[in-house]
């Protein structure tokens, strides 16, 4: 993205990640277990992430079968700026940056929306958060079984959380479509945030 890229080196048998510029110069030293850069002025970093693969032998009556199994330890996510200053501590079990300053962050199994500087926009009570782009604005579908809705970038509901399900087009176009379910009914949501029958 732009002038920077995440890169890893092998240190004592482990991959350590940092950030380099176009010339290969180190911007953030390789110190974390994984890093994500989305073209912003921050880097999303993980401490404790570990994925190991091993071969497990299963013995049956007539033969031995070797199967690969993977073991994941998820670690904790935080955020550093391009000066390598920690601006969000290693708190989150998952970060899903949308690339424009907003992140779906998880504490345990529940997600909330935060900014790239750690400001909380929603509580952590959702199963899934998806971005919706419409007319050069970004909105977010907040999905949970007891009531899904859509908010704007400031956290205000533009579609009240009364729906049992939401389907969205998450592409980067300006005409992201939204389909909602309420009971046995399915509706399309137009650009004015009004329901239209399909």
**168 CB burial (10 A radius; 0-12, 13-18, 19+):** buried
Mean pLDDT of 3-31: 93
Q: What is the mean pLDDT of the chain?
A: 85
Question: When comparing pLDDT for 13 and 176, which is higher?
Answer: 13
> What single string gives the DSSP state of each residue in 55-93?
EEEEE-SS-EEEEEEEEEE--EEEEEETTS-EEEEEEES
Whether the per-residue pLDDT at 9 is higher than 70: the answer is yes
Whether the per-residue pLDDT at 14 is higher than 90: the answer is no
Whether the per-residue pLDDT at 126 is higher than 60: the answer is yes
What are the pLDDT digits (tens) for 137-192?
889 999 998 899 999 999 999 999 999 888 876 555 555 578 888 888 888 888 88
Position 90 confidence tier, pLDDT thresholds 50, 70, 90 = very high
pLDDT of residue 50: 77
Task: Cite the beta strand spans of the chain per DSSP E.
Answer: 4-11, 14-21, 26-32, 34-36, 42-47, 50-59, 64-73, 76-81, 86-92, 94-97, 102-107, 110-115, 128-134, 137-143, 148-152, 157-163, 165-168, 178-182, 185-189, 195-197
Question: How far is 91 from 81, CA to CA, in rounded Å?
Answer: 16
CB atoms within 10 A of CB 112: 19
pLDDT of residue 198: 56
Question: How far is 131 from 151, CA to CA, in rounded Å?
Answer: 10
Share of the chain above pLDDT 70, in %: 83
Question: How far is 147 from 160, CA to CA, in rounded Å?
Answer: 8
**175 CB burial (10 A radius; 0-12, 13-18, 19+):** exposed
pLDDT of residue 73: 67
What are the pLDDT digits (tens) for 42-83?
999 999 887 654 555 555 666 655 554 545 568 899 999 999
Whether the per-residue pLDDT at 129 is higher than 90: the answer is yes
Q: What is the pTM of this model?
A: 0.81
């Amino acid at each position: 993205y732009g002038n920077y890229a995440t890169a890893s080196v092998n240190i004592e048998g482990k991959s350590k990640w940092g950030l380099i510029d176009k010339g290969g110069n180190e911007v953030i030293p390789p110190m974390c277990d994984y890093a994500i850069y989305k073209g912003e002025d921050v880097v999303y970093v993980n401490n404790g992430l570990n994925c190991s693969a091993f071969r497990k032998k299963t013995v049956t009556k007539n033969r031995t079968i070797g199967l690969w199994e993977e073991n994941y330890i998820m670690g904790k996510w935080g955020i550093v700026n391009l000066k390598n200053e920690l601006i969000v501590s290693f708190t989150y079990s998952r970060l899903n940056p949308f690339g424009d300053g907003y992140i779906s962050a998880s504490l345990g199994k529940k997600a909330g929306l935060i900014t790239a500087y750690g400001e909380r926009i929603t509580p952590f009570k959702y199963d899934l958060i998806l971005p919706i782009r419409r007319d050069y604005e970004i909105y977010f579908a907040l999905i949970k079984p007891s009531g899904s809705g859509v908010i704007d970038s400031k956290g205000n509901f533009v579609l009240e959380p009364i729906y049992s399900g939401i389907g969205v087009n998450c592409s980067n176009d300006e005409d992201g479509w939204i389909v909602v379910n309420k009971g046995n009914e399915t509706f399309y949501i137009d650009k004015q945030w009004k329901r239209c029958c399909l």
